[in-house]
């Protein structure tokens, strides 16, 4: 009897930064790779709805995957961007504190950063902050010189180009509905006709917000290996005037997010956000009535903000695997050694700093898929 041959070595589900990075890693390792994406193009979901910040790796618990992958990913991302002409700027960021309690909390943030190997934070007093950013209202701050910004669309285009150079293929308008066992292979069904399916040795589930719902459709995967997803929406308001800042400005972190911060894009445009709103359904609308709330948050570090110049911009949704009031979860990369299915890797909870961490995360997923094979 002749063995059935697969159509591809690896099917990657989802063409966000993580799926594209995993596809590059697998294709450059000589595997044949097919990327399936439900939207009309790559990067239409969380990967294009974020702050585009290259994070230093400051806040995450020591020893966590988030810390490890963020620090490693940051170095890799700067190198990648320089090598592949992806626009970026290492502009640095200031975490600002107001009052004694917040100033004291800065020390905790610095300690955590050091434990993650981020040793370049500089503590600034009120006068030093005034020298750096005169329009800021802050009694103390931490300056992170290794934080930066990147053009996430160009980054994804570069990843896709590399994957395609190594013969990976992207198929869009293709929503995976089922992953069935077929001997030692996996039949990945996309669409409704039995013809709309691909036979692969391995499947990497990088479906972001839908990762748990895709995983639930993998034949033989125990329910204990599929986390419950929680969605935390983050809305942004843009500012219709030049802002008097040249660094990213972050307040103290808040539960569920990093606080309503100021980010600049590469053209120098300013936006504030993201806030945190727990939602049940995926909905990207930005509520214009939040303008005053945003103005109040921003006023804490920039008293001269003109609320009339704030306007609703876009929103992103954090794919969380713990809910409101629960401790933040780590990234979860679940491979054969965890769930017992050869050739299957699921990535869950890839919220921030997933963009920064995307290169090592994709590589780890692409390597894990061969565990036990
Ligand atoms: C508000 C916000 C701000 C953030 N800011 C930053 C930041 O400044 N820096 C940083 O490092 N990180 C940031 N992040 C995190 C970062 O954006 C994400 O970690 C990263 O984009 C996740 O990429 P992904 O590929 O896992 O998901 P996605 O980009 O969502 O990609 C998943 C893809 O899977 C596809 N898909 C889903 N289901 C199916 C299916 N059944 N079949 C086929 N395709 C499917 C989707 O269409 C989508 O294209 C932020 C996140 C949010 C929400």
CA 46 / ligand 1 centre spacing (Å): 3
| Cross-strand partners of 148 | 54
Give the β-pairing of 122-125 and 197-205: unpaired
Burial of 139 (0-12, 13-18, 19+ CB in 10 A): middle
Query: Cβ–Cβ contacts within 10 Å for residue 63, how many?
Result: 11
Ligand 1 proximity of 150 Cβ (cutoff 6 Å)? no
Tokens of 273: 């956000």
What is the chain's mean pLDDT, rounded? Answer: 95
Query: Cβ–Cβ contacts within 10 Å for residue 59, how many?
Result: 21
Q: What is the mean pLDDT of residues 22-35?
A: 98
SS3 letters across the chain: CCCCCCCEEEEEECCCHHHHHHHHHHHHCCCCEEEECCCCCCCCCHHHCCCCEECCCCCCCCCCHHHHHHHHHHHHHHHHHHHCCCCEECCCEEEEECHHHHHHHHHHHHHHHHHCCCCCCEEEEHHHHHHHCCCCCCCEEEEECCCEEECHHHHHHHHHHHHHHCCCEEECCCCEEEEEEECCEEEEEECCCCCCEEEEEEEEECCHHHHHHHHCCECCCCHHHCCCCEEEEEEEEEECCCCCCCCEEECCCECCECCCEEEECCCCCEEEECCCEEECCCCCCCCHHHHHHHHHHHHCCCCCCCHHHEEEEEEEEEEECCCCCCCCCCCEEECHHHHCCCCEEEEECCCCCCCCCHHHHHHHHHHHCCCCC
Tokens of 234: 């983050």
Ligand 1 proximity of 51 Cβ (cutoff 6 Å)? yes
pLDDT tens for 178-187 read 999 999 999 9
Task: Kindly report the protein residue whose alpha carbon is nearest to atom 14 of ligand 1.
Answer: 352
Nearest ligand 1 atom to alpha carbon 274: 1
What's the half-sphere exposure (Cβ side, CA atoms, 13 Å) at 210? 18
Q: What is the mean pLDDT of residues 169-191?
A: 95
Ligand 1 proximity of 50 Cβ (cutoff 6 Å)? yes
Which residue of 15, 16, 59 sits with most ligand 1 atoms within 8 Å of its CB, as the best mutation to test the pocket? 16
Backbone angles phi, psi at 316, to 5 degrees: -125, 165
Residue 333 has pLDDT above 60, yes or no: yes
Backbone angles phi, psi at 105, to 5 degrees: -70, -25
Q: What percent of the chain has pLDDT over 90?
A: 91
Nearest ligand 1 atom to alpha carbon 319: 53
Predicted confidence at residue 239, as pLDDT, reads 97
CA 230 / ligand 1 centre spacing (Å): 14
Q: What percent of the chain has pLDDT over 70?
A: 98
CA distance 192 to 267: 44
| Cross-strand partners of 176 | 190
Predicted confidence at residue 194, as pLDDT, reads 65
pLDDT tens for 293-319 read 999 999 999 999 999 999 999 999 999
Predicted confidence at residue 93, as pLDDT, reads 96
191 pLDDT tier (thresholds 50, 70, 90):
confident
CA 120 / ligand 1 centre spacing (Å): 29
CA 104 / ligand 1 centre spacing (Å): 34
All domains of the chain in start order, with CATH:
8-49+153-228+328-368 (3.50.50.60), 89-148+229-320 (3.30.9.10)
pLDDT tens for 78-113 read 999 999 999 999 999 999 998 888 888 999 999 999
CA distance 260 to 87: 24
Ligand 1 proximity of 170 Cβ (cutoff 6 Å)? no
Q: How far is CA 133 from CA 36, 263, 266, in A?
A: 45, 14, 19
Ligand 1 proximity of 349 Cβ (cutoff 6 Å)? no
CA distance 321 to 332: 9
Q: How far is CA 234 from the centre of its chain?
A: 13
Which residue of 55, 354, 363, 364 sits with most ligand 1 atoms within 8 Å of its CB, as the best mutation to test the pocket? 354
CA distance 149 to 322: 28
Ligand 1 proximity of 212 Cβ (cutoff 6 Å)? no
Q: How far is CA 236 from the centre of its chain?
A: 16
Residue 257 has pLDDT above 90, yes or no: no
Predicted confidence at residue 1, as pLDDT, reads 54
Task: Kindly report the protein residue whose alpha carbon is nearest to atom 39 of ligand 1.
Answer: 207
Ligand 1 proximity of 319 Cβ (cutoff 6 Å)? no
Query: CB–CB of 335/371 below 8 Å?
Result: yes
Ligand 1 proximity of 315 Cβ (cutoff 6 Å)? no
Ligand 1 proximity of 158 Cβ (cutoff 6 Å)? no
């Amino acid at each position: 009897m002749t063995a059935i041959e697969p159509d591809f070595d690896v099917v990657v589900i989802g063409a966000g930064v993580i799926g594209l990075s995993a596809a590059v890693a697998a294709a450059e390792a000589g595997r044949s790779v097919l990327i399936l994406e439900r939207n009309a193009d790559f990067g239409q979901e969380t990967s294009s709805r974020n702050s585009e910040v290259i994070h230093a790796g400051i806040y995450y618990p020591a020893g966590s995957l988030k810390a490890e992958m963020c620090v490693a990913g940051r170095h890799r991302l700067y190198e990648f961007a320089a090598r592949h002409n992806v626009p970026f700027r290492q502009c640095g960021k200031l975490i600002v504190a107001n009052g004694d309690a917040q100033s004291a909390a800065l020390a905790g943030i610095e300690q955590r950063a050091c434990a993650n190997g981020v040793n370049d934070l500089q503590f600034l007093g009120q006068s030093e902050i005034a020298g750096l950013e005169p329009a800021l209202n802050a009694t103390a701050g931490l300056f992170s010189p290794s934080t930066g910004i990147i053009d996430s669309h160009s980054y994804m285009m570069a990843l896709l180009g590399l994957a395609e150079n190594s013969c990976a293929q992207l198929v869009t308008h293709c929503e995976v509905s089922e992953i069935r066992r077929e001997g030692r292979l996996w039949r990945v069904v996309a669409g409704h006709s039995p013809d709309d399916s691909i036979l692969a040795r391995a499947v990497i589930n990088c479906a972001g917000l839908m990762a748990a719902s895709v995983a639930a459709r993998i034949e033989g995967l125990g329910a204990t290996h599929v986390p419950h997803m929680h969605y935390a929406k983050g809305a942004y308001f843009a500012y219709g005037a030049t802002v008097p800042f040249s660094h990213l400005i972050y307040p103290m972190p808040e539960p569920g997010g990093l606080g309503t911060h100021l980010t600049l894009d590469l053209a120098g445009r300013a936006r504030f956000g993201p806030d945190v709103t727990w939602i049940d359904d995926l909905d990207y609308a930005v509520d214009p009535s939040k303008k005053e709330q945003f103005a109040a948050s921003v006023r804490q570090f920039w008293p001269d903000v003109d609320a009339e110049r704030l306007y609703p911009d876009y929103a992103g949704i954090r794919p969380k695997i713990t809910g409101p009031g629960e401790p933040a979860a780590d990234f979860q990369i679940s491979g054969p050694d965890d769930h017992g299915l050869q050739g299957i890797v699921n990535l869950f909870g890839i919220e921030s700093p997933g963009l920064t961490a995307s290169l090592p995360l994709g590589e780890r997923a692409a390597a894990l898929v061969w565990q036990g094979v």
